[in-house]
Amino acid sequence: MTGSIAPSGTALSRALTRHVQPGTPHQPRAVLEVGPGTGAVTRHLAQRLGPHDTLELVEANRPFVDHLAAALRHDARLAAIAPRTRLHHGLIQDQQLGHYDHIVCGLPFANFPPSQIEAVVRQLLASLRPGGRLSFFSYIGGRAVEHLNPRQALSRRALREAIDLHVVGSEIVVSNVPPAYVHHLLVPAPAVCRCGSLPKA
Ligand SMILES: C[S@@+](CC[C@H](N)C(=O)[O-])C[C@H]1O[C@@H](n2cnc3c(N)ncnc32)[C@H](O)[C@@H]1O
């Protein structure tokens, strides 16, 4: 369920949170982090939130939830956002999600069956407001494992299809252990008609 050998490093956490923009008092941002684990990425997210923005965390592993709850009280970087943070224990698939401007997802997709990847990616994209982004990662080197476990090849293909439909940017973080790809997907905002401002013929 954890799907990693270590928490995300600084470079990967920065890449995952790169597009999170602070809101304003008139337009606060709502951010969701899925699979925060022990909070490595959450600490970077906290620095990118404005004073009116809100954060929801959904984590499946009870010991990680307890760890995060304590960190929200005692870790200065997290305590700063604790009053605007809601921590939920459970699977993301079981949550009634709200609407978000940005979702940062730390799920170990390579360990998920293809149908579950499709369902979760669909669920997350449907929870984004127009113009919202979903940022997530996949570890580099997974292809070697696919030869031993063909199901992982199908999982990778399911993820690839979602990426191809919505991707606005991918980057490689080589300094993480293990190195990872970071993908940013965009739900387009509807085109705005500015007919009134068109010059008269
Ligand atoms: C690869 S770890 C990432 C942890 C952390 N975000 C980081 O980057 O260090 C994946 C996390 O997702 C959690 N997780 C796995 N499946 C989940 C699910 N279906 N819903 C919510 N969290 C899940 C795991 O418990 C784990 O904390």
Identify whether 178 is part of a domain. Answer: yes
pTM, to two decimals:
0.88
Q: Which domain holds residue 16?
A: 10-20+34-189
Identify whether 29 is part of a domain. Answer: no
Going from the Cα of 83 to the center of ligand 1, the distance in angstroms, rounded, reads 23
Identify whether 201 is part of a domain. Answer: no
**Looking at residue 167, what is its pLDDT?**
76
Give the mutation target among 78, 107, 116 for probing the ligand 1 site: most ligand atoms within 8 A of CB.
107
Query: What is the number of structural domains in the chain?
Result: 1
3-state helix, strand and coil shares in percent for the chain, rounded to the nearest 5: 40, 25, 35
Going from the Cα of 201 to the center of ligand 1, the distance in angstroms, rounded, reads 57
Q: How does DSSP classify residue 71?
A: H
Identify whether 25 is part of a domain. Answer: no
Give the mutation target among 56, 58, 59, 104 for probing the ligand 1 site: most ligand atoms within 8 A of CB.
59
**Looking at residue 82, what is its pLDDT?**
98
CATH at residue 118: 3.40.50.150
Ligand 1 contact, 97 CB (< 6 A): no
Q: Give, using CA atoms, the residue closest to atom 6 of ligand 1.
A: 36
Identify whether 74 is part of a domain. Answer: yes
Identify whether 84 is part of a domain. Answer: yes
Identify whether 41 is part of a domain. Answer: yes
Is the N-terminal amide bond of 22 cis, ω within 30° of 0? no
Q: What is the mean pLDDT of each successive set of 10 residues along the chain, which is 201 residues long?
A: 77 96 96 97 97 98 98 97 98 97 93 87 93 91 56 69 77 89 85 58 51
**Looking at residue 195, what is its pLDDT?**
60
**Looking at residue 124, what is its pLDDT?**
95
Identify whether 195 is part of a domain. Answer: no
With a CB cutoff of 8 Å and minimum separation 6, the contacts of 57 are 32, 33, 36, 42, 68, 85, 86, 87, 88
**Looking at residue 118, what is its pLDDT?**
85
Q: Which amino acid is at 180?
A: A
Ligand 1 contact, 106 CB (< 6 A): yes
